[in-house]
Structure 1
Amino acid sequence: MILSRYERMIARRYLLPGRGEGFIFLVAGISLVAVMLGVAALIIVMSVMNGFRAELFEKIVGLNGHAVVQGYGGRLPDWRDILKEAKATPGVTSATPLIEQPLLGNYQGRVEAVLVRGMTVQDIRTNETLKGKVLAGSLAALTPNAGKIAIGARLAENLGVSVGGRLSIINPAGRTTPFGTVPREISYDVAAIFEVGVYEYDKAFIIMPMEDAQTLLLLGDVVGMIEVETVNADRVQTILQPLAEKVTGRAVVTDWRQMNASLFEALAVERVAMFVVLSIIVLVAVFNILSSLIMLVRAKTRDIAILRTMGASRSGLVKIFMTVGITIGTLGMVAGLALGFTFLFFRQAIVNAIQFVTGQNLWDPSIRFLTELPSKPDPFEIVGICVMALVFSFLATLYPAFKAANTDPVQVLRYE
């Protein structure tokens, strides 16, 4: 939409307050602020929702892989054969044996439910989710038969244990005696404390070498499952279909969607719902632009009539008023982008400040799963939000612009 020199001049004058037009300018300013808040709210919420999904996916998949081949009854006797078949499957990048069992942890009389996870030493030291997440100690100390373990930070807090402390793990399935089953209890030195960032993991996980887990659980040369990673997490079901057919009757292949179906489906539904609800804010802001333009047209009826008698075309008047409305929408959109990205950059500081002022815990990791407010802006979503705001602003200008263009100068100037 190209404007002539006089059209640009008039549009610029209409954007600034004239004598006796302060109220119209106030309504236009409110419209701009409303668009800004709507765009900012959409960007913040969608980025946080994307961050939730990305963080949960990264940490859950980082510890559990894209899928697991799990034996019936939690035991996989012929795991070496299945491991070879998994590694030979096209699209599989890695496959590692794994043991996972819920047990009890005891430290100086304090008992907590724990999830013992036996991993190969190589997997412990190269796992991207664990690397860089160690708060104290070192994962390098975890070697087979060394009697050392790594535990989650929340579990360490609950038990009051630190690096160097001796933690006992109780396995109810112990040895059988004439007086009944005696639980098996083995003590381990805490060699490292880690914080993955997912509350459920940090409050329960105990990592140990796979050989130590086999000894603790009396498994012998048996593992519980095989963790599998593929070239594409979204195509994991298709990639592992041949493997699932080969292990039928011996094991079950479960991918990350099935293991966390309720969580990721809830996030997807909430994401769509929040987008729809917050889009209404932008729509309300657009109605403010519509009302301010209608008021402007009524206030400028005499000016419009004079312009028409001086030769101004209908299309020129349409362009003038459309430019005014679209300019308000564009400025609001740009301000919304700035506000949204500013909030996202300082998001955790803002949450902490609100918690300090109100005295309320707004970010309880036991409810939110993650220890910090995540964020992952999606460029395509942000472009879509900006386009939506501009389209709504454009549509809001149509009625006032054509109303101004259809003004009859004869009727307006008859009594002047």
Structure 2
Amino acid sequence: MYKPFELFIGLRYTRAKRRNHFISFISLISTLGIMLGVVALIVVLSVMNGFHKEVRERILGMASHATISAVKGGLSDWRDVMAQAGKNPHVIGRAPYVEGQGMFINGQKVSGAILRGIDPAEEGKVSVVVEAMKVGSVTDLQPGGYGVILGQELAYLLGVGMGDKVTLVTPQINVTPAGIMPRLKRFKVTGIFEVGMGDYDRGVALLHIQDAAKLMRLGGDVTGVRLKLDDLYKAPEVSRQLALKMGGYYRISDWTMQHRNFFSALQIEKRMMWIILSLIVAVAAFNIVSTMVMVVTDKQSDIAILRTLGASPRSIMGIFVIQGATIGVVGNLLGMLGGVALAYNVDGIVKWIEQLFSIHFLDPNIYYISELPSDPHLSDILSIGGFAFLITLGATLYPALKASRTQPAEALRYE
């Protein structure tokens, strides 16, 4: 079968046993360096993707993909708003809510919290709190019953449990003969939830939507409507569609706006980790440069003979580019295969190491995530492979250029 001249000789040089075993050793080290660099990049980025996914799901489990609220004051026509939002094909859940701030008091223990009034019948359509209940149920919230569901850490901080009473202080005021007093109301703890996110478990309390509206003097109004979408990444697009459809009479926001700084920080962290770990591949590429320089020096007589037989400098350069690129391609492919295999089994490997050495990398008593998550992305794997190939290909250019400039007479003078 026909092979290009440069490809035939370049592959032949790669397979041939070299007289200088040190060069072979450096070639092996270069291949292993490329492989380990690619493996490290794929595994670390996959684990970071897994952590980002876990955090995102925990945040959006209690937050909303999109919210619709009034430009000023409460939302009075929220039923019509829910009906209009439900016509969008990407909206799969809708629920009204009332939100405010308050302070809980139990004896000498005091803690602030975000108060969220929910409709127990609709809340399960937009959040995971129904599944996150540790004790009690959201259906235990009854209008006029003044029950409250606390996050587990908030309940622990206040020292209360099921059936206990807590006092809620709200920013609204009452005018009494004794002067202006804050509004106080006793609530009964009817449930405790845990979503695995400290901001919510520590700082959120759920009330019945009617009790919350009465407490905040909203009458029949609500703060807004929360929406859940079939694809959370379409939230900006759906928000724009709803804003255009509703004529700008409402304030519409989505999770990318509400948590922009946090998720931007995660992306910057991932990008910087990509850059830092890519230096492993760069170091391996320097090994390829040294390897190929020694190979060119070792093959001076061969280069001279090929030149006298009519090979052009461009062909000589192509031979050594192919030889060096082969090292990079082999290391790259092995790294991609090993990285993907390791990324999909990293949790099992970590558990095996924990059992072997009796240690815990993620102690469940300290961290909310007790297992090491991994979420390999095809785009990351392909970009890592492409980067590793390009940097190894670039590493062959200087030695190959040096080989192409070899003068046959000088090379054969002492042969």
Q: TM range, normalised to the smaller chain?
A: 0.7 to 0.9
1:342 is matched by which residue type in structure 2? L
Maintained 8 Å contact 2:37/2:278: yes
Q: 1:210 to 1:317 in 2, by over 3 A?
A: same
**What's the secondary structure of 2:100's corresponding residue?**
strand
Aligned residue for 2:75, secondary structure, equals coil
Displacement after TM superposition at 1:183 (Å) = 3.1
Shift of 1:120: 1.4
- Say if 2:140 and 2:190, in contact at 8 Å, map to a contact too: no
CA apart distance, 1:26: 4.1
**What secondary structure is seen at the aligned counterpart in 1 of 2:102?**
strand
CA contact (8 A) 1:348 1:372 kept: no
* Amino acid in the other structure paired with 2:70: G
Q: Say which SS state the counterpart of residue 187 (structure 1) adopts.
A: strand
Against the structure 1 CA distance between its residues 284 and 175, is the aligned structure 2 distance closer, same or farther, given a 3 Å change threshold? same
**1: distance between equivalents of 2:144 and 2:384?**
56
Q: Distance in 1 between matches of 2:46 and 2:66?
A: 27
The 8 Å contact of residues 167 and 185 in structure 2, kept in 1 or not, is answered as yes
What amino acid maps onto 1:192 in structure 2?
Answer: I
Query: Which residue identity is paired with 1:380?
Result: S
Residue range with higher mean Cα deviation, 44-53 or 305-314: 305-314
Tell me, what secondary structure is at the counterpart of 1:203?
helix
1:127 is displaced (CA, Å) by: 3.9
**Structure-2 change in CA distance of 1:91 and 1:124 (3 Å):** closer
TM-score by length of 1: 0.78
Structure 1: which 5+ runs fail to align? Answer: none
> What is the deviation of 1:389?
0.9
Q: SS state of the match for residue 121, structure 2?
A: helix
User: Does the alignment pair 1:202 with 2:201?
Assistant: yes
Instruction: Please say if residues 48 and 374 of structure 1, whose CA atoms lie closer than 8 Å, have aligned partners that are also in contact.
Output: yes
1:116, distance to aligned residue in structure 2 (A): 1.7
Tell me which residue corresponds to 1:267. 266
Partner secondary structure for residue 387 of structure 2 = helix
- When structure 1 is superposed on structure 2, of 308-317 and 160-169 the one drifting more is 308-317
Give the aligned CA root-mean-square deviation in angstroms.
4.1
Match of 1:239 among 238, 241, 246: 241
Contact 1:86 1:243 in 2 (8 A): no
Distance in 2 (CA, whole Å) between partners of 1:21 and 1:116 is: 72
Q: 3-state SS of the aligned residue for 2:37?
A: helix
* Superposition TM-score, scaled by structure 2 size: 0.78
Residues 130 and 344 (structure 1), Cα distance of their counterparts in 2 relative to 1, 3 Å cut: farther
Instruction: Give, in angstroms, the shift of residue 98 of structure 1.
Output: 0.6
State the SS of the aligned residue for 1:227. Answer: strand
Alpha-carbon distance in structure 2 between the residues aligned to 1:12 and 1:313: 23
Q: 2:15 aligns with which of 12, 24, 32?
A: 12
CA distance in 2, matches of 1:119, 1:237: 22
**Structure 1 counterpart of 2:324, which letter?**
G
Conservation of the 8 A alpha-carbon contact between 2:321 and 2:396 = yes
d(CA) in 2 for partners of 1:90 and 1:242?
Answer: 15
Change (3 A) 1:415 1:84: closer
Counterpart of 1:120 in structure 2 is 119
Identity %: 31
Deviations 1:181-207 (A, max 9, x none): 153122222423222x33212221222
Which digits, 9 at most, give the CA deviation of each residue in 1:311-336, with x for residues without a partner? Answer: 98877765653343223223332443
For the residue of structure 2 that corresponds to 1:115, the secondary structure is: strand
Matched with 1:68 is 67
Deviation at 1:99, TM superposition (A): 1.0
Task: Specify the alignment match of 1:332 in structure 2.
Answer: 331
1:370–1:265: structure 2 CA closer, same or farther, 3 Å change rule?
farther
**1:21-170 superposed matches below 5 A:** 21-22=21-22, 24-51=23-50, 53-71=52-70, 75-88=74-87, 92-145=91-144, 147-163=146-162, 165-170=164-169
The runs of 5 or more residues in structure 2 that have no matched partner are none
Cα deviations by residue, 1:109-129 (Å, 9 ceiling, x for unpaired): 322221121121123334453
- Change in Cα spacing, 1:347 to 1:182, as seen in structure 2 (3 Å) is same
Tell me whether 288-297 or 53-62 shows the greater mean CA deviation: 53-62
